[in-house]
A and B are shown apart, each in its own frame.
Chain A
């Protein structure tokens, strides 16, 4: 079963090495791994997809937690990810701000994944620059959480690398 583990780590050289080293040493299989800085520039978020049972995922979480530079580990509900860079952004939203947020979403091509009386969760898949712009436009509404996957890319046409 595919599970998405979200890990907050110190944004420092060598941290990713420790994470991937841990996965290989403990014989955990990584399906995918993506790193991006969060809204706090000293913290990176690593999103790891593992294809394992619950007991393995529990061990993965515990072993990740033992790394000194790991701040928080959480296994998220499954979301499908597509190419390019993906941003999932949760902002505070109320009756006054919801329309402004929608306008920006329409211009940027972002869509609304979830809505509650106090928040909205938005999704945008685009180039890194467009994602950056979208994130900065959302900042005035008070960002609750940002998840970015990092970029993946594929060559156009019939040729392959």
Chain B
């Protein structure tokens, strides 16, 4: 057995059933070994970045580690954005790159790049394999590191001669032993008691939940806690689908682009319980102010997140599912939140029922998304891109019990379609929707090939405003002098592009036809593009 075969066999032992990748000279031995193992499926992307995004979408809905594999040099550098995106969103991922022969490393030969060096700031860990006999251990460690503690991408860079090297014997390790890696699981009992005390002393408690709850698979525990004790909650962008929009305790998304009600709740609460979120700059605009005004409990698996952006009165480190169960096992004395909830609900109601502006000849994204959300399956997955489309979807797309997948951390345009391909690969029967703009779509439309190839039933909602809307919006404000370099002139006929991949298109420019068009769109068998005409002057604050 050679290194390449050992790699694929190790992946099989890790229950990998699908990989996303792009072949090239230095990864050929591994691709060849993969071809001999039919139980591992393979999707050829059209640019390597999307292999990372597909693995991300796959990982987020399957609960498994996403795997992607590309060649050395440009293949590896193209993948960097996919890896960085996964790192910022804490996605469990193993990325495998081919590398030039080890005896030529460092000589700048054809398609050589120091990818472990380049990726170091945004990988959880990385390996440059020097001996094929290390491959089973390295794969075992990589999957362990990627999926435990705070998840993240792990990179394995394998020179072609190591892929070709014969192993002495293949032995897959039973367990992992890394002395420098022991993520906390259980929350400190003393700290748990302090949380209980803090809740008992609060008058207007608020839970703020983020993507960490999804990563720990702790949605049910969170809902139980919130409902049992009647504590209102807000969410960050990564935690947006943790609660249905119409849940009486759900006050919406906080942050610069969040719901007014949620932000009000944040400043008015006297105890903020942060669960699996990191108080990033777009989420909590004035952390100093917040921490002065209220007491903060911060629950996270990563101790470095606590106190990084905001100081917490009670830090609580461990696996969120375990900690929430620890809290649920306590007798909590919770204040009467009736008045607090009533005040928030009034604000929430105003927002949910607000009437959107109308313009003839175009549709308002909020109007489309509000109606779309009502019509979706209860457990639909919606993959949302970056820009105005993302902000409208965060604010106005009603959530049920499905998933809302977007890249909250890095904000990578062109994420939604490849992520949806990853989702469909993991869950072929799940209703899957893409929401994007005409800017982001042109960064990802080459992946319609993957949609066509697998016949994925992915419904794409494309808001066309013929400009990079969010930048356009920023440029119309002080200190800038107006839109420049954002007009999407020269864009193709998107219906013709879709047709070239055998995908039908519906167009929507009249809100009077909204409901009927959405029904037709969702009922069209197989993939379908819905092209929505949006006025370029529409702002996310409209």
Contact = CB atoms under 8 A, between A and B. Distances in A.
A78 to B, nearest CB: 23
Interface stretch (B34-42, B113-121, B507-515): B113-121
Given A14-B128, A25-B121, A65 B303 contact: yes
Interface stretch (A56-64, A96-104, A117-125, A144-152): A56-64
B145 A58 contact: no
Given A18-B120, A21-B121, A25-B121, A68 B307 contact: no
A68 B125 contact: yes
Contacts of A21: 120-121
Contacts of A68: 124-125, 145, 178, 180-181
A78 B181 CA distance: 28
A108 interface: no
A122 to B, nearest CB: 28
A59 B125 contact: no
Given A25-B121, A68-B124, A62 B179 contact: no
Given A58-B307, A59-B307, A59-B308, A67 B180 contact: yes
A66 B128 contact: no
B371 interface: no
Given A17-B117, A68-B145, A10 B304 contact: no
B14 interface: no
A70 interface: yes
Contact of A62 (B124, B125, B304): B304
Number of chain A interface residues as a range: 20 to 34
Contact of A66 (B117, B179, B304, B307): B304
A89 B179 CA distance: 24
A73 to B, nearest CB: 10
B302 interface: yes
Contacts of B145: 68
Contacts of B178: 68
Contacts of B302: 66
A70 B180 contact: yes
Interface residues of B, number: 18
B462 to A, nearest CB: 36
A24 to B, nearest CB: 9
Given A71-B179, A71-B180, A65 B304 contact: yes
Nearest to A42: B179
Nearest to A10: B180
A69 interface: yes
Nearest to B121: A25
A25 B118 CA distance: 12
A70 B181 CA distance: 8
A58 to B, nearest CB: 6
Nearest to B128: A14
Nearest to A60: B304
A8 to B, nearest CB: 8
Contacts of A25: 121
A55 interface: yes
Given A25-B121, A68-B125, A62 B180 contact: no
Contacts of A67: 180
A46 interface: no
A55 B121 contact: no
Contacts of A59: 304, 307-308
A55 B180 contact: no
Residue of A14, A17, A59, A68 with highest tally of chain B CB at under 10 A: A68
Nearest to B302: A66
Nearest to B154: A68
Interface in A1-60: 9-10, 14, 17-18, 21, 25, 55, 58-59
Contacts of B180: 9-10, 67-72
Nearest to B124: A68
A9 B145 CA distance: 17
B171 to A, nearest CB: 22
A68 B181 CA distance: 5
A66 B281 CA distance: 22
Interface in B271-320: 302-304, 307-308, 311
Contacts of B125: 68
A62 B303 contact: yes
Contacts of B303: 62, 65
Interface of B: 116-117, 120-121, 124-125, 128, 145, 178-181, 302-304, 307-308, 311
30 contacts: A9-B180, A14-B116, A14-B128, A17-B117, A18-B120, A21-B120, A21-B121, A55-B307, A59-B304, A59-B308, A62-B304, A62-B307, A62-B308, A63-B304, A65-B303, A65-B304, A66-B302, A66-B304, A67-B180, A68-B124, A68-B125, A68-B145, A68-B178, A68-B180, A68-B181, A69-B180, A70-B180, A71-B179, A71-B180, A72-B180
Closest 4 A-B residue pairs measured CB to CB? A62-B304, A71-B180, A68-B125, A25-B121
